[in-house]
Structure 1
């Protein structure tokens, strides 16, 4: 019974860490309202205390305010004492905050170098602007983003300026 209580306590601690783990050290990077509750759902949760990791599986969804992170699997390493060191979201990830969306095959957060690396068919959408590549690295300490540093794949960006944005007034007519 005591081990179940201890696991439930760690579950609460792990749940509180998810925003910082997935989107940076500042919870505001995960949600505009970082005080909003974090709601995590999945088909199954397992804590492997002896191996020092926790695993959410089956259509995992993390919601905080307007922010939604989905993945088939979320694995958190280093849960002992709340000192996480890595989080893997795998199987096709999607992140959205209402203003932008990021998708890819996998996302990995590593505490040792404060990075989030999204790999495999990476698509970043901000409004009408779109960037694609095979790997995107986000450096949490500097805010720097690098596409495809370690791959030979090409990076593509489609950007609209105010001059070439479509007009809402319709086509011009001669009068």
Structure 2
């Protein structure tokens, strides 16, 4: 189980996107608490699955999803984390929601797909697909369909 915690932490930190400046929010040393209706670990497979109202909490950061699959657990070589079925991440000040999110260690990305909404204060970005590059802080938001990427930015004036 200790190998799972860095993987979850990586996804939560990566999902803490600050859309104003494209930077990661600071990580936390707080413990990670994962709950769900069911947990499955497979003897000959290198992944674990949490299902049923999965909630991952670290400090003020909360990730919820109906299903969370973590690949690379037994080998100690985190490959991927899939959050599926309608995900929501919030850290109190910012929130991201989408149908699915995938953290990939190989290309150091978090990819959100399906009705992606990023909220930071009064600022809102929506689109079909968001790719976040964890090492560089680069964001690539695309429409991924008929709708366009939309940003609503409120000025202080």
TM-score (norm 1): 0.79
Q: Residues 134, 33 of structure 1: CA spacing in aligned structure 2 closer, same or farther, 3 A cutoff?
A: closer
- Is 1:160 aligned to 2:154, yes or no? yes
Which residue of the partner structure matches residue 10 of structure 2? Answer: 20
Deviation, 1:13, is: 2.1
Deviation, 1:73, is: 0.3
Q: Residues 61, 31 of structure 1: CA spacing in aligned structure 2 closer, same or farther, 3 A cutoff?
A: farther
| Structure with greater Cα Rg | 1
Higher strand share: 2
Q: Which runs of 5+ in 2 are unaligned?
A: 15-22
Higher helix share: 1
The partner residue of 2:88 within 90, 94, 118 is 94
Task: Give, in whole Å, the separation in 1 of the partners of 2:74 and 2:149.
Answer: 39
Check whether the contact 2:114–2:128 (CA below 8 A) recurs between aligned residues.
yes
Stretches (4+) displaced over 6 A: none
RMSD: 2.1
How many positions carry a matched residue from both structures?
Answer: 150
- Alpha-carbon deviations, 1:16-57, whole Å to 9, x = none? 431113433xxxx98756211100000011112412110000
Task: Give, in whole Å, the separation in 2 of the partners of 1:66 and 1:53.
Answer: 27
